[in-house]
Structure 1
Amino acid sequence: MRLLTQETFDGMRHGAQVIEEDYYGEKVLLLEDGTYLKLFRRKSWLSKTAFFPPAKRFAANARELARRNIPCPKVIAVYRLESPYRSVVHYRPLLGSTLRNLLDAAEENQQHELLSGLGTFIEQLHQGGVYFRSLHFGNIVITPEGRLGLIDISDMRCLNRPLPVGMRRRNYEHLMRYSEDLEKLSDAVRVSVCQDIIRN
């Protein structure tokens, strides 16, 4: 990771929009050129993130997803800020809209269309060894070309073999845990989605 000086950081974030922040400060910035900075704090010096910072993990996961032909953000650079310490990833976003946002305004027939390939997509992830512990409708994007892709990819592991049954089950359980997403679906669509996932 390259050192990002405070002066350079201040220049990059000039005019930026804060997309996400918490008690510790800014987490995601939309820059004036349309690219993003995502900042990760170190939660503990004894944490594994001290050896493999989240920004580097984000970049590694982006490379692995691209190798598997799965749409995802394009990493520009990985940095570290010293005071306060942050690992930082600079990236171009994956163009499109999340399933969550699209489903918010969708009618029942549109819901069917939006979710028709979800089971096949998740099976592609599992066969490709992608264990995405943040799998939910807010992290799945439909691109302008109609493909499904992933965002917010730091909390992910990419294995060199298909996922075992237990890891697949945990991915499904995480997806189904978001009741606010499932409640947006009509009963018929909800049943159809579940059946599609089970078949795959």
Structure 2
Amino acid sequence: MEDFGDIRMSRRDLLKAGAASATAVAVPAAQAQDSPANVNTPSPGASRPPVVASVTLDVNGRRHTLKLDTRTTLLDALREHLHLTGTKKGCDHGQCGACTVMADGRRINACLSLAVMHDGGKVTTIEGLGTPSSLHPMQAAFVKHDGYQCGYCTPGQICSAVAVLDEIRQGIPSHVSADLNARPQMNVVEFRERMSGNICRCGAYANIADAMSEVAGRQA
């Protein structure tokens, strides 16, 4: 039995009184949240309508003007809007290289780049390198040396391989270049380092290096 001045109550009565007080506080708050005044009030984190922009891209020699949500990646613009599905969506986090394309002569991960960033620019995808009847030398070398197995990463591998040879020809060093002031060499060590961002889950790396070596030898 608890004694509160002139009021005496049992522990059971005290617990009941506490529960009733908590309910009395909670019910008005819940009603206030459901009141008509709050129904149409957006929360601070509510989504906003998308911002749309006109984007012009020169893709594989053809000019395209698209109306895109400014958050659209270059990868989604290529696949979903231009239906160039040769460029693959792998991790969508820039970690596998399956989406590699060449933008203004430089290889990039299309999943990490917004389409609006390339407005007016030139983009080359695997579809722009060659055709089944007229393969690019790198495509032909991949076939000859079995540089693919499941083939999912192959478009990105080939685009990256073509760009790698061009980087070496331009004298751009890598982390394994012995002398940063000297022109890098066309060799397997350079190829492996520069291609390290392109993951092949089937493990065809040796064959890919062989294909690149053959094309590099021809060009030299």
* Larger RCO (alpha carbons 8 Å, 6+ apart): 1
Q: Fold-level match, TM-score > 0.5? A: no
Q: Which range, TM-score by smaller chain? A: under 0.3
More strand by share: 1
TM-score for both structures, normalised by structure 1 = 0.27
TM-score for both structures, normalised by structure 2 = 0.26
